[in-house]
Amino acid sequence: MKDPHILFNTFVHCTQNIVLGLGADSERTLPPLRPVFANNVVFSDLGYYLITVEDSPQDPLWEGNIMYGSPLGITQPSGVKLADPTLSLGDDDLWRPAMESILIDSAVGDYPLVSTDLDGQPRGVTKDIGADEYSDDPVTIRPLTPEDVGPSWWPPAQELPRVIAVGAGHDSLTYAVGQALAGDVIELVTAGGEYTVSSSLLITIPLTVRAGAELEVRPVIRNIDPDTGTRTVIEIQDGGRVTLRGLELDGMAGSATPAKYLIRTDDDPMSKSYTLRVEDCYLHDVVLGEDGNFFRAYAGTYADSVVFRDCLFRNSGKEGIRLKDEASGSGSYNVGYFELTNSTLWLTRKEAVFLYAGDDVPYTPGPVVRINHCTFDSCAYEGSAVIAASEVDDTVIRNCIFSNTAMDYPAATLYGIQASIDYSDLYLTGSVVTERSASVGNHMLAQDPMYADRLAGDFTLAELSPLRGQAEDGKSMGDLRWSGETLMIPGTLVHVVPGTFRLFQNYPNPFNPATRIPFRLGHQGHVRLEVYNLLGDRVATLLDQTMRAGEHTYIWHPQDLGSGIYLGRLSINGDVNVIRMLYLK
């Protein structure tokens, strides 16, 4: 290249700003001839050379250049000054000289072809160094925005989804699902309402089923079909893309109509992939003999993603979450991405999570598995791993608690160089079994979590729990809802929040036959004082009335209730306080 001119440019935070002789090799041996580098600004604090040499040019001219922030990379020419250019970032994300910049009116040399700057503003008689001229003249050239380019019809207008409100009742939800169109939202609007169905809810389209935004107690979905032995609450069929939010799925174990599955895929192979996303749901009591799964994917089905977040899972007859039914060595697997986050699983007879990657060949395609901030207690109690990620090369487990499982069986089985577990607690449980370079990190604990009452399903960490603050993110290990000021009730959608009132601890506690429940109201309002059991069922409404501000006490005489832990819940104008009470009959 002969006589190239590199003039009036601004380079900011580039890993390669100016490269001399780029592309030189054994066939391209001629260096640049008489290049001119004039009035350029180079600023970068990334640590890379500001100028890189691959082949030295012949007879270069350097004049009026300002460079700063990192090593120059060449012997400093007389036409390069090392000084802070004092640039400012504009609203259009372009760098320009600030008012006090040394670039203003500092250009040297005669370059008449450069008559305007990057904004289309005219250059003065004495020009500024760099791409921008400090000027109040009108801007005639500007960066293009997304609105300036592309076809006028893109992106297409986004229509809000149709929301279908459904009240509690037998088969009211079945009818709504049958009438729904792709993309609809079915909103269950009865707090604590029973949505019973006489057959499985078959979902073949993209569909969301969620609790109403103002509900405080989860709507409950149950299958009470009297004529089948393998009841399913929700079945995903070809074309289904399912989101569930704020619901309770009850398997009714021990009743006349127990479910075998709460959610499952079609047992016939699918021609299309599906997705499943479950958020803030309570899934429980799915036991049919020695069977029962919260979720099962059958062979021949494939999910782009299966995601559970902020969920509670209690009491399954076999595996909790089962994605392992493809034939051994087939190379087929049931899910591309699996996530279990901030959730609690307890009382699963077999594996809490069981996945299979399709073969034992390293580095072949397989699921990506992410399990984070989960609590597993009394899982796999009949002898199996709590987490079995069989042949899955990419499994990452972080910030979890494994407690009170079969000591002779592993807390987790991990395979592959990308598989690892760290920042987790193994208490009264087996170790982690690793295969094919899977790793166990250096931040594992074996400490008593100090649950409040795990036998009653209360995994709140004591204030002195050694797991507080020990997670990778500086928070507590396990499901984070058990470590904050929030007291979880499986059946309710609201948590404890500060307010202008307070529910004090009852006294005496434990008590029999009666106890006093004191509370303070900061202002007049409509008050509800209720009692729940640990399954989230409301067992008594003590107050439901408008009350004045001040100190109050309610004396509770339980009627027809057995001994156990009960939760007192006081709400006023949307704020909620909860206490725990022990009744000894």
**What's the CA gap between 558 and 576, in Å, rounded?**
22
**What's the CA gap between 67 and 42, in Å, rounded?**
5
Q: Is residue 139 domain-resident?
A: yes
Average pLDDT for runs of 10 along the chain of length 585: 93 90 80 94 89 92 95 94 92 89 95 94 94 93 84 71 93 95 94 93 96 89 90 96 96 95 96 95 95 97 95 96 95 95 95 94 88 96 92 94 93 90 96 91 96 90 92 91 62 45 82 86 82 85 83 84 89 77 87
Q: Which residues are within 8 A (CB) of 388 and not within 5 positions of it... i.e. 6 or more apart?
A: 324, 351, 353, 354, 355, 412, 413
Count: domains in the chain: 4
HEC profile of 19-64: EECCCCCCCCCCCCECCEEECCEEECCCCCCCEEECCCCECCEEEC
Q: Is residue 269 domain-resident?
A: no
Per-residue model confidence (pLDDT) at position 37: 97
What is the token pair recorded at 263?
Answer: 């959610």
Q: Is residue 153 domain-resident?
A: no
Q: Is residue 128 domain-resident?
A: yes
List Cα–Cα distances, 460 to 359, 446, 454, 535, in angstroms.
40, 18, 8, 15
Whether residues 200 and 90 fall in one domain: no
Q: Which range of residues forms the domain containing residue 570?
A: 501-583
CATH number for position 573: 2.60.40.2550
Residue ending a domain, among 122, 145, 168, is: 145
Whether residues 288 and 374 fall in one domain: no
Whether residues 377 and 470 fall in one domain: yes
Q: Is residue 311 domain-resident?
A: no
Q: Is residue 270 domain-resident?
A: no
pTM score: 0.62
Whether residues 115 and 234 fall in one domain: no
Q: Is residue 271 domain-resident?
A: no
What's the gap between Cα 475 and its chain centre?
16
**What's the CA gap between 244 and 258, in Å, rounded?**
21
Q: Is residue 314 domain-resident?
A: no
Per-residue model confidence (pLDDT) at position 91: 81
Whether residues 115 and 183 fall in one domain: no
